[in-house]
Amino acid sequence: MNAKSQPPPEKSQSFWSTLPGILAKLAALIVAITGLLALFLHQRHGGDDGSPTPVPSPTFTATPAPWLTVLDIKAKTKEQSDGRYFDFKASELERILGRPFFHGERFLAARRADEPSRPILVFRGSSGGPGDAQGRYEDWHPKDWKPGDHVYVFPER
């Protein structure tokens, strides 16, 4: 036999004692310290100027009225017209719809919740009245709308 000695077997090293393990430990330590510092400084100082961070209070906004105001009624007899015309502001109808309305678009409208709705057509442009838009309803009713009435408008189903 050969009397030469064999090298001792290598000791198995754990991952944490290798260079990648040491770098991983160092990175984890840096992340932990940075996170704790950020949390501590934010709670202690609040805003950038040192003032406490304000807590937002809930805000309540008024819901716009779902009606448009009749500005004028064209007083024509049933024999003279294909319907009853009324003037209104286009911006009121667009506010209700949340979009621009189309010339000749159909809607349902009622003066009160307990009143049956009637179909109306709406048009851009005035007929010489105070509004910048007009509407027409065809059915005649003994309690016709009057200037100043609030008319609820909703899409035709």
Spatial contact of 138 and 82, defined as CB atoms under 8 Å apart: yes
Q: What does pTM read for this prediction?
A: 0.52
pLDDT digits over 69-97, tens only?
Answer: 888 877 555 555 566 788 888 888 888 88
The 8-class DSSP code of residue 113 comes to T
Q: How large is the average pLDDT for residues 148-154? A: 83
Nearest Cα to 105, choosing from 127, 136, 81, 83?
A: 136
Q: What is the pLDDT of residue 33?
A: 92
Q: What is the per-residue pLDDT across 8-45, written as a single tens digit (0 to 9) for each?
A: 666 677 888 888 889 899 999 999 999 888 887 766 65
pLDDT of residue 82: 61
